[in-house]
Structure 1
Amino acid sequence: MNRYSYKKLSIVLMSIAVLGSVLTGCGTSSKVSAGTSLTNTASASPKQLVFYSAQGYDDAMAKAFQAKTGIKVQLVDMSTGPLAAKIEAEKSNSHWDVAWFDGDATMQALDNEGLLMQGWAPKDASNLTQLGQSLVPADKAYYPTGVTAAAAIGVNSKLLPRSEYPKDWNDLLKPTFKNALAMNNPSVSGPTFPYVAGMLNLMGDTQGKQFFTSLKGNGMKVGETNDVEIKSLLNGQVKAVTIQDSALVAAKADGNPIDIIYPSSGVFTLPGVIAINKKAPNAQTAKQFVEFVLSPEGQKVMLDPKNGGGDSYFNPIINGVEGSSLRQSDGINWLKVDPVKSAQNENDIKKWFNDAIIH
C-alpha cells in the first residue's frame, strides 16, 4: 500500500464514523438496521444480493431490481462514514456485494485497501458522458452514478437584490455578506470536505486557506447540516449559504425563495459512486445490479423525488438521461477533486479547518 498505511486509513474511516455524515439513506424495505450483523448464510445464495448503501433512493432501487430479476436484495442502510467504517472492519470476513454512497475520496480509500473489484466495466460504461468518464478511476474499481456540486451558492431572493448576487467565490468576501454567510463543518458534513479540499486546490493551498480565513474574518457562520443552513437562510439570519446544490434544489422545489448560483470559476464534483466487493459472495449478481443502476430504467428510479427526496436532484452523467427541470444542467463549470490526493490530505485539512476557522 504505497499511499496509505492500514493505520492511517483506519483512523480516517473511524473518525468519519464518529463524526457521522449528512448523506443518509432513507429506505425501509428489505433493510437491515445499522447495528445488525449479517452472517455468511445471508449472502450464500446466488439469487441474493447484500447491498450496503447511503443513498436516499436505495430502498426504491432494491425493490425495482428485485421486481425485475426476482433476486432478493438485503439492504444495509447507513450514513456514509459508518458504512465505510463497517466495510473496513469486515475486511477479513466481508458479507457485502455492492456498496453505494456519495464521495469518491472515501471510495478511493477503500480501493487503496484492496477491498474493491478492479478492472470490470459495466456493459453500458461507454454511455457515460464526458464528465462521467472523467470520474471513472484508472483501475475501474468504482463507477459514478450521478453528480452534484459539493457546494454552490444559495441566496435568499427576498433578502438580496439581484444586483448584489455573487458571481464567483471571492464575491462572498464583499461587505454585502458581512455576518451574512454560512457553510458547514467539513468534519461533520460529507459534501463540505470536497468543497474545502477543492478550493485549496483551485486557489492553491496558501491562498485557499486565506480565502476561508477571510470569510471567517467577514463573520461567516459554520454549522453542521444542510437543513440548519437552509433554515438560517430562510429566516433571514444569513443572506447566502455554500452547501451541496441538491439540498438547495430540494428546498427551492418546496417553494422557498432560493436562487442557486454556480460560481464562474467552477464548482467541485461530488459523485455518487458504486463498487463491487473484491470478495463479493455474489459477484455476478452484483455486476447485474450495477448495470441496472446505470441503465435508463435504474436512473428513472433515482430521479424520482418520491424515492430519493433531495438525493434525487442530481445531475445525470449518462447520455440520454435527463435530470430534473428544477436544477441547472448547462453552463456549470465542473471541477474534479482528485480523490487520491483528497484522501491523503483529509485529516490534515479537517484539522486545519477546525483549528483556524471554527476555533
Structure 2
Amino acid sequence: MNSAAGGACLQRAAALFLLAGCLALSGCGEPKEPELWIYTSIYREVLDKLAPQAQAAMAGVKLRWYKAGSEEVAARITAELASGQTPADILMTADPFWYQALKEEGLLRPYRPPEASRVPPALTDPEGAYLTSRAAVMVIGYNAQIFSADQAPETFAELTQPRWQGKVVIGDPLKSGTALATVAMLSNKLGWDYFKALRASDVVVEGGNSAVLRRIETGDRPVGVLLLENLLKARENRSPVEIVYPRDGAVVIPSPIAIVAGTDQPVAAERFVRFVMSPEGQRAMVEGYMYPADPGIAGPKGSAPFTSLLAMGRCLDTKFVREMTAERETLKETFGQIMFE
C-alpha cells in the first residue's frame, strides 16, 4: 500500500470512529422524549378520561402515571426521598395536610398559574406551593332497597344512635386521604367521643371509599360515610344507593395539585398544572363526578351547588389545614386506638 492510499484509509477509519461515537452519544436515533411523572390518587376510570386529554395538551412530553390511594402515594414519596430522590414531578392526591407538611419541609416548588385566579382564595395556599385542582365532598350514602328517604339518617351526629347499631361503615384514615380529612373535621367539630360512640355502635372501618360503597350496595352495612362522587357514579350505573347531604354539614375536601421541588422538568410541570386548571382540565374533573376548583364551571350532574356546600362551614380551607397539619399523625394514632385496640 502506498502512503497516499494509507492516509486515505486512516482518514476513513477516523471518520467512521467519530460517526460511531456520535451515534452512541445520541442514542443512535432521535432524542428521547422528556418524561413527566404524575403521582395521583384519582380513580382509574377518571384517569382513563383525563390522561388522553392531558397527553394531547402536552405535545413533546411523555406523561407517566403512578396511581394509588393518597396515603399510599405519601408513603411511596417518603420512601423515595429517604433513598435520595423521587421520580415524581407532579402530585395530585386528596390529603391537603400532606401538602402543607411538604411545603413546610421545602419539598414543593411554588407555582401559581393565571388560571388559578378563579379558585376561591380559601382553597389555595397563599404562597402558591399547592392549589386546589378539584374538591371531594364527604356525605352519607344509604341502600334505598333497605331504607326509604324518610328513614335515612339526616346528620353525621345521629349515626351513633341505637337504631344505626351494626349498620354503618366508614373509610379508614390510615389508607384514605379523604377519610383522614373527614376524621380531622368531625373530631374537631364533634370530638373524639363521637368516634368512641361509633365504635360502641359496631361501626365497620373499611379501606377506601370504593370499599365503603360495596358494603352499602350489598346491604351488609346499608349506611355509610363516603364521597359524593362514588355515589353519583353508582346511581348512574343503577346501583340502589341514595345520597344524604348531612344537615350538620357535608365535609368539603380540597384535593391539591403541586410540583415537586426537585423536578428536572419544571417547564413541563408548569404546563401540566396549567392544563389541569384550564377549563378543559376542570371539565375532566366534572366527568369524574368531582367538583371543579373553578366555581365558574358547573359541578357534576345530580349534585348540590358547590356554593351551598361551602356555606355549611365544613370545608377544609387553608387555615384549617395549616392548623391541623401538625396533628396529622396524631389523628391517625388516636383513630387507630379508638377503632382497632
TM range (shorter): 0.7 to 0.9
Q: Deviations over 1:51-98 (max 9, x none)?
A: 333323445434323323412223131313343334334444444332
One-letter identity of the residue aligned with 2:136: T
User: Are residues 1:152 and 2:139 paired?
Assistant: yes
Q: Deviations over 1:153-194 (max 9, x none)?
A: 111222123222222222222332122111122212332111
Q: In the alignment, which of 261, 267, 271 is matched to residue 288 of structure 1? A: 271
CA pair 52-357 structure 1, distance change in 2 beyond 3 A: closer
Q: In the alignment, which of 325, 335, 338 is matched to residue 314 of structure 2? A: 335
One-letter identity of the residue aligned with 2:91: A
**Which whole-Å CA distance do the structure 2 matches of 1:349 and 1:222 have between them?**
15
Give the match's secondary structure for 1:241. Answer: strand
Count of residue pairs the alignment pairs up: 301
| 2:199–2:339 CA contact under 8 A, matched in 1 | yes
One-letter identity of the residue aligned with 1:77: Y
| 1:46–1:282 CA contact under 8 A, matched in 2 | no
5+ residue gaps, structure 2: 1-26
One-letter identity of the residue aligned with 1:179: G
1:183-194, aligned counterparts within 5 Å?
Answer: 183-194=170-181
User: Are residues 1:234 and 2:217 paired?
Assistant: yes
**Which whole-Å CA distance do the structure 1 matches of 2:102 and 2:159 have between them?**
35
**Which whole-Å CA distance do the structure 2 matches of 1:249 and 1:51 have between them?**
26
User: Are residues 1:324 and 2:304 paired?
Assistant: no
**How far 1:231 sits from its partner (Å)?**
2.7
**Which whole-Å CA distance do the structure 2 matches of 1:278 and 1:224 have between them?**
31
TM-score, normalization: structure 1? 0.76
One-letter identity of the residue aligned with 2:74: A
Q: Match of 2:149?
A: 162
Query: What percentage of residue pairs aligned between the two structures are identical?
Result: 24
Q: Match of 1:171?
A: 158
**Which whole-Å CA distance do the structure 2 matches of 1:248 and 1:352 have between them?**
28
1:214-253, aligned counterparts within 5 Å?
Answer: 214-253=197-236
One-letter identity of the residue aligned with 2:283: K
| 2:130–2:257 CA contact under 8 A, matched in 1 | yes
5+ residue gaps, structure 1: 1-40, 305-311
| 2:55–2:63 CA contact under 8 A, matched in 1 | no
CA RMSD of aligned residues (A): 2.5
Give the match's secondary structure for 1:55. Answer: coil
| 1:185–1:192 CA contact under 8 A, matched in 2 | yes
User: Are residues 1:85 and 2:67 paired?
Assistant: no
Q: Match of 1:181?
A: 168
**How far 1:109 sits from its partner (Å)?**
1.7
**How far 1:247 sits from its partner (Å)?**
1.6
Instruction: Give the helix-richer structure, 1 or 2.
Output: 2
**Which whole-Å CA distance do the structure 2 matches of 1:98 and 1:106 have between them?**
14
Q: Which has the larger radius of gyration?
A: 2
Give the match's secondary structure for 2:256. Answer: strand
Q: Match of 1:261?
A: 244
**Which whole-Å CA distance do the structure 2 matches of 1:201 and 1:141 have between them?**
25
CA pair 350-326 structure 1, distance change in 2 beyond 3 A: same
**Which whole-Å CA distance do the structure 1 matches of 2:134 and 2:256 have between them?**
8
| 1:117–1:278 CA contact under 8 A, matched in 2 | yes
1:1-359, aligned counterparts within 5 Å?
Answer: 48-56=35-43, 57-58=46-47, 60-79=49-68, 80-91=70-81, 92-118=84-110, 120-128=111-119, 130=120, 133-149=121-137, 151-203=138-190, 208-304=191-287, 312-330=288-306, 331-332=308-309, 333-337=312-316, 338-359=320-341
| 2:153–2:159 CA contact under 8 A, matched in 1 | yes
**How far 1:46 sits from its partner (Å)?**
8.8
**How far 1:216 sits from its partner (Å)?**
2.0
